[in-house]
């Protein structure tokens, strides 16, 4: 059993950390205030190979591994979880299904430019009536001459207002069976599809859309894999992404912890730094313990992805632990910093708002518990 990162992993962490501190951090305050994402980061992330870390070189990726992808996400989110949400919606949710199930043409036209950061991707699954419950999906694709006509709506779609294409889920059969849900690749903007930019309390530095879809024509060649029934690909993709998302909430928790720790060492109250008060020190002790616990689960999960052995329940356990821990850690950071924690010239408030999104997005904590409980009923035990 070897728990250490390889030299390549350590070098990657340093590269991404430096990039985020020098090139991305200066934009974070403006992004949060203006609710905009600095699009140029995608081309930079493409140049640095960050978007393709976990994809093979023959597909335009960098051929590293899931552990590398998690290191990248942890470092992005340490500076801005909103930026990491944009990264995740693009490099995993939008791109992964194409890499996994796309035709040669779809990989050339969508995956390769996306991995280079030349096209921005988003992923449309959730709907006004179907967030937790994918099978409640109402968006319908009807077969017409030469393609499909899609009608429906998609809610809370990260990157939609800035994206060049969407990997869009729609029901190609009226029934609720698994093979009734398919994915389509749709260039944006598109006739028959309008996007409202949503205002949010968290992840304000990423852009999120509500999509109205009315008689949108999509040619046959843009049905993912030119095959109906990609529901299993979606589930597989969501499961793997729970590990990546957990790496990002670990990163945002670290960002908040580091700021609070620094503050606690330098803030003097009654003649001594507040870290010398046991109540403050104990909070910091809880925070660093939570971070270590999340970190081990996240990188164990990434290792399992690389081995091809990650189960849905394991992915859900990791997401549940990491996201709930991040919420506690960011709240503790604000408490430690007192009034300063509420002020916008510090980052802990933003990290806390962003942490809240992650007990909801990518499957709420209740849904993670349902997945874990389902596995228990099936008799899946801890190895
Ligand atoms: C900022 C943001 C960005 C997002 N980005 C994307 C994106 O890019 N693409 C995309 O497709 N989606 C995206 N989502 C959607 C996200 O995945 C959903 O919000 C999430 O799955 C929850 O769905 P919902 O909001 O409809 O909540 P609901 O499903 O309405 O849930 C409401 C409450 O009911 C509980 N609940 C529901 N069902 C059950 C159950 N069976 N058992 C127990 N409790 C239950 C939930 O836990 C929750 O507390 C994003 C969401 C946010 C907030």
Q: Whose CA is nearest to atom 37 of ligand 1?
A: 132
Q: What is the 3-state secondary structure (H, E, C) of the chain?
A: CCCCCCHHHHHHHHHHHHHHHHHHHHHHHHHHHHCCCCCHHHHHHHHCCCCCCCCCHHHCCCCCCHHHHHHHHHHHHHHCHHHHHHHHHHHHHHCHHHHHHCCHHHHHHHHHHHHCCCCCEEEECCECCECCCHHHCCCEEEEECCEEEEEEEEEEEECHHHCCEEEEEEECCCCCCHHHEEEEEEECCECCEEEEECCCCCCCCCCEEEEEEEEEEEEHHHEHHHCCCCHHHHHHHHHHHHHHHHHHHHHHHHHHHHHHHHHHHHCEECCEEHHHCHHHHHHHHHHHHHHHHHHHHHHHHHHHHHHCCCCHHHHHHHHHHHHHHHHHHHHHHHHHHCHHHHCCCCCHHHHHHHHHHCCCCCCCHHHHHHHHHHHHHCCCCCC
Closest atom of ligand 1 relative to the 362 alpha carbon: 17
| Substitution candidate for ligand 1 out of 131, 165, 168, 203 with most atoms within 8 A of CB | 131
Write the pLDDT tens digit of every residue in 44-74: 999 999 999 999 999 889 999 999 999 999 9
Rounded to the nearest angstrom, the gap between the alpha carbon of residue 113 and the centroid of all alpha carbons in its chain is: 20
The rounded distance, in Å, linking the Cα atoms of 103 and 98 is 8
* Alpha-carbon span 367 to 373, nearest angstrom: 10
Residue 309, C-beta contacts closer than 8 angstroms, at least 6 positions apart: none
Q: What is the mean pLDDT of residues 150-176?
A: 95
The answer to whether residue 27 scores a pLDDT higher than 80 is yes
The pLDDT of residue 2 is: 83
Contact 209/330 with Cβ under 8 angstroms? no
State which ligand 1 atom lies nearest to the alpha carbon of 130: 26
Q: Whose CA is nearest to atom 25 of ligand 1?
A: 131
User: With bands split at pLDDT 50, 70 and 90, how would you rate the model's confidence at 86?
Assistant: very high
pLDDT digits over 278-311, tens only? 999 999 999 999 999 999 999 999 999 999 999 9
pLDDT of residue 382: 66
Going from N- to C-terminal start, the domains of the chain cover 7-115, 121-228, 232-377
Q: Which atom of ligand 1 is nearest to the CA of 357?
A: 53
Report, as residue numbers or ranges, the catalytic residues: 362
Q: Are 98 and 224 in contact (CB under 8 A)?
A: yes
CA 359–ligand 1 middle distance (angstroms): 9
The residue whose two tokens read 């690909």 is 233
**Least confidently predicted of 128-132, 269-273, 328-332:** 128-132
The pTM for the full model equals 0.96
What is the second-level CATH architecture of the domain 232-377?
Up-down Bundle (1.20)
Q: Per-residue pLDDT tens for 309-332?
A: 999 999 999 999 999 999 999 999
**Distance (Å) from CA 365 to ligand 1 centroid:** 10
Residues with Cβ within 8 Å of residue 82, at least 6 apart in sequence: 28, 31, 32, 37, 202, 203, 204, 205, 206, 354
What integer is the mean pLDDT of 174-194?
Answer: 91
Please provide the average confidence, as pLDDT, over all residues in the chain: 96
Q: Which residues line ligand 1 (CB under 6 A)?
A: 89, 93, 123-126, 131-132, 156-158, 200, 203, 208, 357, 360-364, 366-367, 370
CA of 364 to the centre of ligand 1 (A): 6
Least confident of 159-173, 228-242, 324-338: 228-242
Q: Which CATH class is domain 121-228?
A: mainly beta
Residue 381 has pLDDT above 80, yes or no: no
Distance (Å) of CA 41 to CA 115, 164, 223, 367:
13, 15, 29, 32
Which residues, 6+ apart, have CB-to-CB distance to 290 below 8 Å?
253, 325, 328, 329
CA–centroid distance, residue 133 to ligand 1 (Å):
8
Mutate to test the pocket of ligand 1, among 91, 124, 132, 137 (most ligand atoms within 8 A of CB): 132
* pLDDT for the residue numbered 3: 87
Q: How far is the CA of 92 from the centre of ligand 1 (A)?
A: 18
Q: How far is the CA of 23 from the centre of ligand 1 (A)?
A: 32
pLDDT band at 376 (very low <50, low <70, confident <90, very high): very high
- Whether the ω angle into residue 189 lies within 30 degrees of 0, i.e. cis, is yes
Nearest CA to ligand 1 atom 24: 131
Buried residues in 295-305 as b, exposed as e (16+ CB within 10 A): bebbbebbbbb
Q: Closest ligand 1 atom to the C-alpha of 169?
A: 11
Residue 134 pLDDT exceeds 90: no
Mutate to test the pocket of ligand 1, among 167, 242, 360 (most ligand atoms within 8 A of CB): 360
Spatial contact of 111 and 59, defined as CB atoms under 8 Å apart: yes
**Class in CATH terms, 7-115:** mainly alpha
Pairwise CA distance, residues 133 & 151, whole Å: 19
């Amino acid at each position: 059993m070897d728990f250490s990162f390889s030299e390549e992993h350590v070098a990657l962490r340093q590269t991404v950390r430096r990039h985020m501190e020098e090139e991305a951090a200066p934009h974070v305050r403006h992004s949060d205030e203006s609710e905009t994402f600095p699009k140029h980061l995608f081309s930079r992330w493409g140049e640095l190979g960050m978007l393709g870390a976990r994809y093979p070189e023959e597909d335009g990726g960098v051929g590293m591994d899931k552990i590398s992808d998690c290191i990248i996400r942890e470092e992005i989110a340490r500076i801005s979880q909103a930026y990491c949400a944009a990264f995740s919606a693009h490099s995993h949710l939008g791109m992964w299904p194409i890499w996994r199930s796309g035709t040669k043409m779809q990989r050339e036209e969508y995956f390769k430019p996306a991995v280079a950061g030349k096209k921005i991707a988003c992923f449309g699954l959730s709907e006004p009536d179907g967030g937790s419950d994918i099978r409640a999906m109402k968006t319908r694709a009807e077969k017409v001459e030469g393609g499909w006509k899609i009608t429906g709506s998609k809610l809370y779609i990260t990157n939609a207002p800035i994206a060049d294409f969407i990997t869009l889920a729609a029901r190609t059969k009226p029934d609720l069976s698994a093979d009734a849900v398919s994915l389509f690749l749709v260039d944006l903007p598109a006739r028959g599809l309008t996007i409202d930019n949503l205002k949010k309390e968290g992840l304000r530095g990423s852009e999120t859309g509500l999509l109205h879809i009315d008689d949108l024509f999509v040619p046959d060649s843009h049905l993912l894999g030119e095959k109906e029934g990609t529901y299993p690909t979606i589930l597989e993709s969501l499961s793997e992404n729970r590990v990546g998302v957990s790496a990002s909430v670990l990163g945002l928790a670290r960002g908040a912890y580091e700021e609070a720790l620094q503050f606690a060492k330098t803030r003097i109250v009654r003649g001594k730094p507040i870290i010398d008060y046991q109540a403050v020190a104990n909070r910091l002790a809880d925070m660093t313990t939570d971070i270590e616990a999340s970190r081990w689960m996240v990188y164990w999960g990434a290792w399992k992805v690389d081995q091809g052995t990650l189960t849905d329940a394991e992915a859900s356990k990791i997401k549940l632990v990491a996201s709930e821990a991040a919420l506690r850690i960011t709240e503790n950071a604000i408490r430690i910093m007192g009034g300063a924690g509420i002020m916008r010239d510090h980052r802990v408030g933003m990290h806390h708002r962003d942490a809240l999104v992650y007990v909801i997005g990518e499957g709420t904590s209740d849904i993670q518990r349902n997945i874990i409980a389902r596995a228990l009923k099936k008799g899946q035990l801890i190895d």
